[in-house]
Structure 1
């Protein structure tokens, strides 16, 4: 019906014209539709999105419990009677087993924990294992947590990171192509020390004890707001040693107005460490500071600055030759610095591996003999090897140094020991072991000797100056067998020295004058260890002097001379 009405209203020509118009109108509509809704054939933008590893690596943990055992159990003393450090060192080690079960969480600005940090070696040290998102599920056997945070990593850096051993949390906003990248790496895994490695734009405020890291590209909420506190001394479980070590903070700053301007800009890295703790005790100076400092600084080949907190000029002067060998620059008393110092890299704290020793299986994969060679070089000591009596044919006598003690564990009949040693064929020197008045001169004297003999104590630390293949003879007081080998026996062997020990009998110990022969002091020294370090120390370290059986000691000195026939 409608078709008939439409046909009557238009002529045949008009109907044809109207049909053409409708056809072109339809084409125009179709073309417009295709233009507006045409498909996008290029790469989809969503493919360029990256998922931040931050969501998957908020907290990574490393199982280092295998290292948490009696290796941390050591409190030697200094040879002139510095019993304070000796009194304290082991007290914390009795709690080492409990430390294994402690889990430390990362801090925020609102809540920080001074005991939360544990050491990390820097990025170049490859100290920890990369945990990619696919490997996070494998990190189940945990003891102490290890957190490392990475800021503004590019795609190339992310690819490179796959071949490194740095655990990373990455935040890449794609906005920082022209900005300096910052990285904060803090290791919570090691049982002996805490440390952080900060690279990029690092600003040190000495007067406030704060290290600031600008991170403008990040959201200052949640995990990004974390901060850390650390005491840069390598005996973290010893509360007595750590009591007066100054605490430092590492903080991220998100607003430009909160960042202090650089008063002094440095082009080399810096290492922050403390002169507090047991500094001043010869054994602890090497164990807690000098060996860890050697491990942390040697890779810089002198191009590093030392920022010392709890600055002690007498300590620095005593070891100035070693410090100058590690750094070409003047040491900075950072606590007094009002100015803001800016560095490209700051290492806060030192990493300690073993007591008076180096673990070659740990970064930077050095050795105890590397350290002793370094010490001989620092003091320009002439002898790298002890006398070889098989070649000398009796033209020279081997030199024997006897370390004397004035307070505890004295060698009461040292005069008779000297006479016996001379009869055996030694040229004998007697010296105090903690000669800090002129350490360089004392180091030369030790280096001139072939055998070093002494009762267990800090004075034996001077074996670091002995030439290779020399002999260390340790007189082991009653009850200290385990401690003596741990503190000096194994370190001596790792130094390339020959090691002999002389176990004291109860008849040679002054304890026989204080307790009956069948007392538990003689029959079960281990029971006193279980009562705690302070009670053990009081009896076996403080109250014990030695009067050796010279006839029984003589064969050991003969054997030492035989070891010099190599």
Structure 2
């Protein structure tokens, strides 16, 4: 009341009315400001209480997660996916492969891979990919033994299987079907492409194998363990849904047999051979030069690959005796399925001699500057001999020599007349088809070397070793 009296005495009636209007406006501004600032505190859960609940609940969850960390990995949200469309390369001559990132779900025993996506993330164009993850796609016989993997996007709310197990590392899906079991194809179709595909992960990658054979993975286990720190998974037997942030289906093979085309990859056969030496604990990296003095110098070791079934060397003992007379220590051995033993034996020699066949694949274990001698049987075999075993040696830093036999050195001379088409025009047999070619020149032919002719090749090998 005293406040009102003082105000009335200090201002006229008109001034009081004007001042009252301004006071009313000011009151509205102040009220609005107070409401804005204190609105969060009028909610049912004040910020201080919310913060307290978040802290206490988060601590409890952290303790729970730590107790299960070894068994369950955190699930990646499919809404975090930046790229859901698999990048499928179907143009390479030797292999098809798809590489995808995001929320990838693999149902192994149904051979299906799902890419989680929302309706707005659905890829444009082709929606399903079928891949046979083996690096010999132009060979119908080989690919007929390879399981087909289906890759398809799936909307989040429709047909997407729940994850049974989540991984935070990438996965590579590949097959050991095809011609697996043949040493050449094991390396050319699977192991070298697997090296090219998985090396970028530095061991932090999960191998998912289809068409699995236990004898195959046992055979190459040391190398597989060098390429991946984790036990492989046989996905054909896997009923769970395995989820990964990144998946590669198929292998990145370059267009080179038993080798790596440097124009297509940043990796090399020298790097692959280094991994092999490490995997199988091989001691020799390079052949040392030998002295010409036979009495004082160390004698180079020569491995003569023996074959017990097809393309046998009939006069193996005579060849070994001749080789010893010109300065070699000779080992006669048939390469078997125990890779650890074979790799150690091959790495210990300086020269490897063999008739064209899978046994020559073991050149991958030779030390650098060793000599490979390929004996080429009768038949139209120049292209296959050059492609499979001559050209690869260049990238392995090896010396290469070859010896092409004459009709008189072939056992076929005893099976067919001298004027038969097999001798006159062996290329005609090749044109009939692979089966006809194989049955004659690979399965029915043995070799009886002309020792005088072959001696010249061995002397040339000595020249290489003597530098």
Q: Do the two structures share a fold, i.e. TM-score over 0.5?
A: yes
- Name 1:396's counterpart in structure 2: 298
Go from structure 1 to structure 2 and tell me whether the alpha carbon gap of 1:185 and 1:269 turns closer, same or farther (over 3 Å shift).
same
Go from structure 1 to structure 2 and tell me whether the alpha carbon gap of 1:396 and 1:181 turns closer, same or farther (over 3 Å shift).
same
When structure 1 is superposed on structure 2, of 554-563 and 523-532 the one drifting more is 523-532
How do residues 290-329 of structure 1 correspond to structure 2 at under 5 angstroms? 290-329=191-230
CA RMSD of aligned residues (A): 1.8
Cα distance in 1 for residues equivalent to 2:427 and 2:221: 41
Cα distance in 1 for residues equivalent to 2:444 and 2:171: 44
- Do 1:183 and 1:200's aligned partners in 2 also have CA atoms closer than 8 Å? no
- Do 1:225 and 1:252's aligned partners in 2 also have CA atoms closer than 8 Å? no
Cα distance in 1 for residues equivalent to 2:252 and 2:80: 34
- Do 2:314 and 2:447's aligned partners in 1 also have CA atoms closer than 8 Å? yes
Go from structure 1 to structure 2 and tell me whether the alpha carbon gap of 1:252 and 1:421 turns closer, same or farther (over 3 Å shift).
same
TM-score (normalizing by structure 1): 0.66
- Name 1:446's counterpart in structure 2: 346
| Structure 1 residue 224, shift from structure 2 partner | 4.7
Go from structure 1 to structure 2 and tell me whether the alpha carbon gap of 1:410 and 1:257 turns closer, same or farther (over 3 Å shift).
same
Greater helix percent: which structure?
2
Task: From 529, 544, 548, give the equivalent of 2:430.
Answer: 529
How many residues in Structure 1 have an aligned counterpart in Structure 2?
A: 387
- Name 2:446's counterpart in structure 1: 545
Cα distance in 1 for residues equivalent to 2:191 and 2:121: 40
| Structure 1 residue 501, shift from structure 2 partner | 0.2
- Name 2:397's counterpart in structure 1: 496
Cα distance in 1 for residues equivalent to 2:425 and 2:109: 52
- Name 1:200's counterpart in structure 2: 102
How do residues 120-269 of structure 1 correspond to structure 2 at under 5 angstroms? 180-218=82-120, 223-224=124-125, 226-269=127-170
- Do 2:166 and 2:243's aligned partners in 1 also have CA atoms closer than 8 Å? yes
Cα distance in 1 for residues equivalent to 2:185 and 2:228: 21
Unpaired segments ≥5 residues, structure 1:
1-175
- Do 2:300 and 2:329's aligned partners in 1 also have CA atoms closer than 8 Å? yes
Go from structure 1 to structure 2 and tell me whether the alpha carbon gap of 1:396 and 1:338 turns closer, same or farther (over 3 Å shift).
same
Cα distance in 1 for residues equivalent to 2:353 and 2:460: 13
Go from structure 1 to structure 2 and tell me whether the alpha carbon gap of 1:426 and 1:179 turns closer, same or farther (over 3 Å shift).
closer
Go from structure 1 to structure 2 and tell me whether the alpha carbon gap of 1:356 and 1:408 turns closer, same or farther (over 3 Å shift).
same
Cα distance in 2 for residues equivalent to 1:225 and 1:520: 51
- Name 2:358's counterpart in structure 1: 458
- Name 1:152's counterpart in structure 2: none
Pair 1:430 & 2:298 matched: no
Cα distance in 2 for residues equivalent to 1:194 and 1:178: 27
- Do 2:84 and 2:122's aligned partners in 1 also have CA atoms closer than 8 Å? no
- Name 1:362's counterpart in structure 2: 264
Cα distance in 2 for residues equivalent to 1:233 and 1:267: 25
Task: From 378, 395, 411, give the equivalent of 1:510.
Answer: 411
Cα distance in 2 for residues equivalent to 1:336 and 1:553: 52
Go from structure 1 to structure 2 and tell me whether the alpha carbon gap of 1:219 and 1:496 turns closer, same or farther (over 3 Å shift).
closer
Secondary structure in 1 matching 2:407: coil
| Structure 1 residue 392, shift from structure 2 partner | 8.8
Task: From 215, 232, 236, give the equivalent of 1:335.
Answer: 236
When Rg is computed on C-alpha atoms for both structures, the one with the higher figure is 2
Secondary structure in 1 matching 2:285: coil
Which deviations, in whole Å up to 9, do the C-alpha atoms of 1:251-294 show, x marking residues without a partner?
00124242222111111100011121111111110011001001
| Structure 1 residue 183, shift from structure 2 partner | 3.6
Which deviations, in whole Å up to 9, do the C-alpha atoms of 1:363-388 show, x marking residues without a partner?
3x222222222211221111000131
Cα distance in 2 for residues equivalent to 1:468 and 1:392: 23
Cα distance in 2 for residues equivalent to 1:383 and 1:271: 32
- Name 1:470's counterpart in structure 2: 370
- Do 2:133 and 2:148's aligned partners in 1 also have CA atoms closer than 8 Å? yes
Go from structure 1 to structure 2 and tell me whether the alpha carbon gap of 1:388 and 1:182 turns closer, same or farther (over 3 Å shift).
same
- Do 1:243 and 1:277's aligned partners in 2 also have CA atoms closer than 8 Å? yes
Go from structure 1 to structure 2 and tell me whether the alpha carbon gap of 1:225 and 1:492 turns closer, same or farther (over 3 Å shift).
closer
Secondary structure in 2 matching 1:355: coil
- Do 2:287 and 2:350's aligned partners in 1 also have CA atoms closer than 8 Å? yes
Pair 1:282 & 2:183 matched: yes
Secondary structure in 2 matching 1:295: helix
Cα distance in 1 for residues equivalent to 2:349 and 2:208: 36
Greater relative contact order, per chain length (Cα 8 Å cut-off, separation 6+) = 1
Cα distance in 2 for residues equivalent to 1:220 and 1:179: 12
- Do 1:201 and 1:213's aligned partners in 2 also have CA atoms closer than 8 Å? yes
Cα distance in 2 for residues equivalent to 1:516 and 1:337: 57
Cα distance in 1 for residues equivalent to 2:225 and 2:194: 12
Cα distance in 2 for residues equivalent to 1:505 and 1:392: 34
| Structure 1 residue 517, shift from structure 2 partner | 2.3
